[in-house]
């Protein structure tokens, strides 16, 4: 039996189909992956993401340490800003991709992948210097994601914070249904949405209030299955698929998140060398031309030559065709290139396509790709201090 989030009994009550995921018992779906996916795109969905890890680094030298540990520039982050980043090995391979929240001048919170919590914690602890400490805060946090075009309207019913004024990849300290909460305008779906961090004892209270207030706006619970298809339509990477210890952010097409202007960080020298020499493989997106559903570990061909491997694939509920991500030889990694995917010992035609596969109106802030809104100016004067939340 795996670990259980504070929402386990809720999942059972809502007839969630439970599976083991990264050591946790989590709902794969409730009413069905396609239905849940489409409802997030059209209305609003509620996700339990409490299996994700939360690691706090605090102290006078907290930001100095994170500057050394992470590929992005964290010292220029303002309080209430969020960034997408990564921890790397000295050879540039990815330990984990994370989001970092600057909670205060001397505090930051890392949201890390469920399967990498202990590894990340130990890596940070081993490399910590000066006046700083690292704390695993996972047992203190419940985490929900509310995503979809109606997410703001639902959540606004439960908080006095003006949600419309929270910018993309920013957060506010506030209350949700009277409970102290970190309200973050982030998500993993490509839709309008928020992620909420609050004390575990209020987990069921907030879930049920959101479900009640969201009923007129079409809210439904969403499992891991639709979370995966939603992120894949956006081309967002998933650790142990598009990223791992053998892959660099350069190969994954994520160089924009690396700050090479920093004096140093773990992995910088290796990444600089790889950038100078040029990558030998690249992450690409592709759409199926013939009917067929690509899956991770399927082989990618150009004519009779194997050129790479699928890392993630699915039948897109929005596009109604097979889509996928994969690594191919750099010479073949050009948009429009015709390739084949080996599915059950038969080649099916596909074409390399731009990412994301799914686009909302460019006027909608949620269409911005993950973490790209990354300026250092921001809202000041948070309404609650961090210690009041936890």
- For the chain, the domains span 1-234, 280-353
Confidence check: pLDDT of 359 > 90: no
DSSP-based three-state secondary structure for 14:
coil
Q: What is the mean pLDDT of residues 276-286?
A: 98
Looking at 315-319, 322-326, 385-389, which range is the least confident one? 385-389
> What are the percentages of helix, strand and coil residues in the chain, rounded to 5?
25, 35, 40
Please tell me the CATH code under which domain 1-234 is placed.
3.30.1360.120
Q: What is the pLDDT of residue 375?
A: 34
| pLDDT tens string 164-202 | 999 999 999 999 999 999 999 999 999 999 999 999 999
Contact 233, 313 (CB under 8 A): no
Residue 95 burial (10 A CB sphere; 0-12, 13-18, 19+):
buried
pLDDT band at 366 (very low <50, low <70, confident <90, very high): very low
Measure the CA–CA gap between 374 and 227, rounded to whole angstroms: 24
State the pTM of this model: 0.93
Q: What is the mean pLDDT of residues 144-163?
A: 98
| Nearest Cα residue to 104 out of 352, 342, 380, 292 | 380
DSSP code string of 325-364: EEEEEGGG--TT-EEEEEETTEEEEEEEE-S-S----TTS
Measure the CA–CA gap between 46 and 287, rounded to whole angstroms: 28
Q: What is the pLDDT of residue 37?
A: 98
Strand segments, DSSP code E, in 247-292 are 281-288
Confidence check: pLDDT of 100 > 50: yes
| pLDDT tens string 112-139 | 999 999 999 999 999 999 999 999 999 9
Contact 299, 348 (CB under 8 A): no
- Report, at the CATH architecture level, how domain 280-353 is classified: Beta Barrel (2.40)
The bridge status of strand 94-104 relative to strand 305-315 is unpaired
């Amino acid at each position: 039996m795996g670990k259980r989030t504070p929402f386990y009994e809720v999942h059972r009550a809502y007839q969630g189909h439970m599976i083991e995921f990264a050591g946790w018992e989590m709902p794969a779906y409730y009413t069905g992956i396609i239905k849940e996916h489409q409802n997030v795109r059209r209305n609003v969905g509620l996700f339990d993401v409490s299996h994700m890890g939360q690691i706090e680094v605090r102290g006078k030298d907290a930001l100095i340490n994170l500057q050394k540990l992470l590929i992005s520039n964290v010292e220029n982050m303002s309080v209430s800003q969020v960034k997408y980043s990564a921890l790397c090995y000295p050879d540039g391979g990815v330990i984990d991709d994370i989001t970092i929240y600057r909670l205060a001048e001397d505090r930051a919170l890392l949201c890390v992948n469920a399967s990498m919590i202990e590894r990340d914690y130990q890596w940070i602890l081993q490399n910590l210097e000066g006046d700083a400490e690292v704390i695993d805060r996972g047992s203190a946090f419940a985490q929900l994601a509310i995503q979809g075009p109606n997410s703001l309207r639902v959540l606004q019913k439960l908080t006095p914070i003006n949600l419309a004024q929270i910018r993309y990849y920013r957060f506010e300290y506030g209350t949700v249904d009277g409970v102290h909460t970190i309200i973050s305008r982030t998500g993993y779906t490509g839709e309008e949405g928020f992620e909420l961090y609050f004390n575990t004892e209020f987990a069921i209270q907030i879930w049920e209030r959101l479900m009640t207030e969201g009923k007129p706006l079409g809210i439904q619970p969403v499992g891991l299955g639709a979370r995966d298809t939603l992120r894949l339509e956006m081309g967002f990477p998933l650790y142990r698929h598009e990223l791992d210890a053998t892959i660099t952010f350069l190969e994954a097409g994520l160089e924009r998140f690396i700050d090479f202007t920093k004096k140093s960080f773990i992995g910088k020298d290796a990444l600089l060398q790889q950038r100078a020499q040029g990558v030998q493989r690249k992450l690409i997106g592709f759409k199926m031309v013939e009917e067929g559903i690509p899956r991770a570990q399927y082989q990618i061909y150009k004519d009779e030559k194997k050129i790479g491997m699928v890392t993630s694939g699915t039948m897109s509920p929005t596009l109604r065709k097979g889509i996928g991500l994969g690594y191919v030889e750099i010479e073949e990694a050009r948009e429009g290139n015709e390739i084949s995917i080996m599915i059950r010992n038969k080649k099916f035609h596909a074409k390399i396509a731009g990412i994301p596969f799914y686009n909302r109106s460019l006027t909608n802030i949620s269409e911005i790709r993950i973490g790209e809104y990354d300026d250092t100016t921001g809202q000041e004067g948070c309404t609650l201090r961090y210690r009041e939340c936890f």
